[in-house]
Structure 1
Amino acid sequence: MSDLGRVLRLDARRTALLVAMPVLTAVGTAAAVPSLYPAVAYWDNAVVALVNAVRFVGPVAAAIAAWTTVRERPLDYLRDLTARSPATGALLDLLLLSVAALLSYATVTALVVVVTLAQDGAGHLHLVGVAAGAGSLVLHVVAGYLMGRAVPHRATAVLVLAVTSLWAALRVPGMSWLSLLPPAAFDQIALFTTLRPRVLLDQVTWTAGLTTALILGYVVWVTRRFLIVLPLLVALAVTGTATLGLRASSGTITPVHTEPVCREWPITVCVHPALRDALPVLTAAATPLAARLHETPGAFTRVEQRPAWKPVSVSGGVATVHLDETLSPGYASRAVRQISRSLRDAHACAASPDVPDHYRALVDAWLLGEDPPSVPDTRAARRFGSWSEARRRAWLRLNFADYHSCALGPADFLGGA
């Protein structure tokens, strides 16, 4: 009875758990924070932060599991005194270590979710992506533990840490489909795109199949119950199918339609929901330009953010722009310059490279509210600078065609409207 009590106390109290949870939580938090910035307000990037964090947490979890196995291996004889299966103790160890790893992962997940909610994140949380990260972490625990069982040496934990770290370091986003094998590596997800759910589902299936296969293989090894070989083969088949699915996947992201958020006055400005904080600044920057272009062919009353792969333009009263997803300083000025550049007829301007563009630069500086540049034709610059705002706007309405085709010349500045 005293031996049985020692076994029960051994199973119920694991000092490794006291080490694993805070260590894994700290590593996971440190790994997730850099991925959260700067696009944390997008739920897809919250999932990317979690999945990428497993690349750092997984090797540590595997090493702790291997260390636990080697450390407690000398006490296995106590379990042999009971009537339990020889695999029971190891399975209980795996359960406890997996629970500790998942609790630390849940803590990191809660942190990521809270930060994203605090910034009013756009899109939706891919729960299958969260499950993919959790499954990959459990796979590391199982692999590390079983390696400790197979090679019960003090150096095994260090070896497991080195091998799993090397495997994680080889994850290069977008280089090969092999980078999709857990622990997967994802780039930051650009706005107007989303993760492919099929890729995430294949990763969940892959980790579940391989984890199950490892556990069943260990049970067959220690119990010699070959009836378990059949479910083992099924688990391997599931893993192989998921591998083929990941290999055949055509990228990890896909375009997605997103309803914009808008500010209606004094002009309508619409952006991706993740960048709603840009609305006041972008509106303030675009309104003067819209007023100066009023009643010209380049007039607009609406500004819309477009994906990076779509060109900017001004057409039908709508100006489209690209925005920095980080909203770095000067993003609104850069967006307004995009509108100004889109007013240029690229073909006409390219066809007349000998025509000086400093006259257009004068007009651009006024449209953008910037200081006028130094130009060779000082007389035209002084004359244009002496005109009132109303006179400049009337002049632009008359000379917009030349401005559009980069054909402005000294004669255009001889008189006003």
Structure 2
Amino acid sequence: MSAVITGFGVFTAFGPGADALRAGVFAGKPGFAPVTRFDTSPFRGGHAAEYPGADPALPRVPSQWDVLLACGRSALGMAGLSDAERAPLLLGSQGDFTAVNRYWRAEAAGTALPSADELSVSVPGALADRLGETLGLGPRRVTFTNACVASATAVAQAAALVAAGRADVVVCAGAYVVDEEFFAKFDSGRAFASDGVVRPFARDRSGLLLGDGAAALVVESEEHARGRGAQALARVLGWGYSNDAFHLARPHPEGAGMASAIGRALERARVRPEQLGYVNAHGTGTPANDVAETRALRAALGTAAAGTPVSSTKSMTGHMLEASGIVEAVITLLALTDGILPPTANLDERDPECDLDYVANEPRAARIRRALSVNAAFGGANTALVLERP
């Protein structure tokens, strides 16, 4: 059975909804600014892509719970699903650490601690269970915690369930909201761009920056969608997974694992490399990742790699950790439906070892039929998704 996307909800530092993405990511505007959510004076870095809390739909600084619930409701509403009580929920998240961060501050200050109920959503499985219950979804609820490929894994598994006939409808989601705990971890690992600018594939790139992000997708069988008169926004044609088995934090220098995941996704989709019109790259802006990813694309796409537009939207959204895969899937879907390729911002002088067409600095009009979205994670994990415009 063919798996199609019939609804989505999305949130980034630019705000909730597709129009916020169009005004930010698709206009080539980086969302980075000095962090105001917590005190960054103990850290080396001080910038992130934070949502300021200005939209009526999300008027305050949000938690993971806030954005997951908003995105889930938006996805179900767009899909026209009023009854999804049998739909499984697949979530990519390490848990909502909002209350945990409050706990440590309160304990240090000797003030009232958050309740056990508030703290429970820091457990990834409990967050999925609460979200599924609130959205009225089925009892099958799974959380993937495999770092920056977590929500891409959720999308792939949703498509696999539908393709195997094990579910008519699946809701998948992912979220990360910039918080002090994970900011401190990346800062201590010296992963942040030294000047507060993310420059994927550029000669002078110096690291990544974090960003707020969340999305939810309704994935269902094409037959089920047609039967209830729902519009298919995109097909999930193929998906692939792999592991470099090389290093805990660094990618394989030749991109072997990512190339394998891409090859499996293309094979499952029955798509030849030259039939791809765009690649949404993982593109973190770190020295090791960008070269390895370029080599992976060349290995997987062969001679077609040189003519395939590629961009890193993390140059504008920041790295959304577990949410990256599903938010970037929505960005890829919009590229397919809008006929606009988002650019790679801040790419003024390309690294000689990064020699592909990275859609530098300005969006590009392009009517494409199929696109690839790839992600990688600590532990050597890789995912690849092939989407098609119906």
Using the size of structure 2 for normalisation, the TM-score is 0.24
Question: Which protein has the bigger strand share?
Answer: 2
TM-score, normalised via structure 1 length: 0.23
Give the structure with the larger helix fraction: 1
Greater relative contact order (CA < 8 Å, ≥ 6 in sequence): 2
